[in-house]
Amino acid sequence: MSAYWITRCHINDQEIYEKYLELAGPAILEYGGKFLVRGGKQIEKEGTGFERTVLVEFEDLMAAQKCYDSDAYKAALEFSKQSSNRLVVLVDGI
């Protein structure tokens, strides 16, 4: 069953966040993640403050979890923590 990694993000420091993007993308692809949404124009309908949304599809929830817990993603995450406020959820599809 497919699973999804959903991130809502507010960027505080674009320069540092770019370093996160450089590392996170390859780490996610390494674990079979397929980007379905990566930023882009959006309309917030309920709640505001997260101008960036990312949706990644994985083979299953275990693959998404392994990616998030990987050393490669942890290295990227350090830059995200310095440059953004985020909500991240890993969830099974239907």
Instruction: Please give the full DSSP string across 36-61, using - where no structure is assigned.
Output: EEES------SS----EEEEEEESSH
Fold of 3-92: Alpha-Beta Plaits (3.30.70)
pLDDT at position 64 over 90: yes
Position 18 scores a pLDDT of: 97
All structural domains of the chain with their residue ranges = 3-92
Question: 61: pLDDT confidence band, cut at 50, 70 and 90?
Answer: very high
Read off the pTM: 0.93
Q: Can you spell out the DSSP letters for 5-32?
A: EEEEEEES-HHHHHHHHHHHHHHHHHTT
pLDDT, tens digit (0-9, with 9 covering 90-100), for 29-54: 999 999 999 998 999 999 888 999 99
Query: Bridge-partner residues for 6, per DSSP?
Result: 55, 89
| Max Cα–Cα distance, the chain, nearest Å | 37
**CB of 20 within 8 A of CB of 83?**
yes
Q: Mean pLDDT throughout 73-87?
A: 97
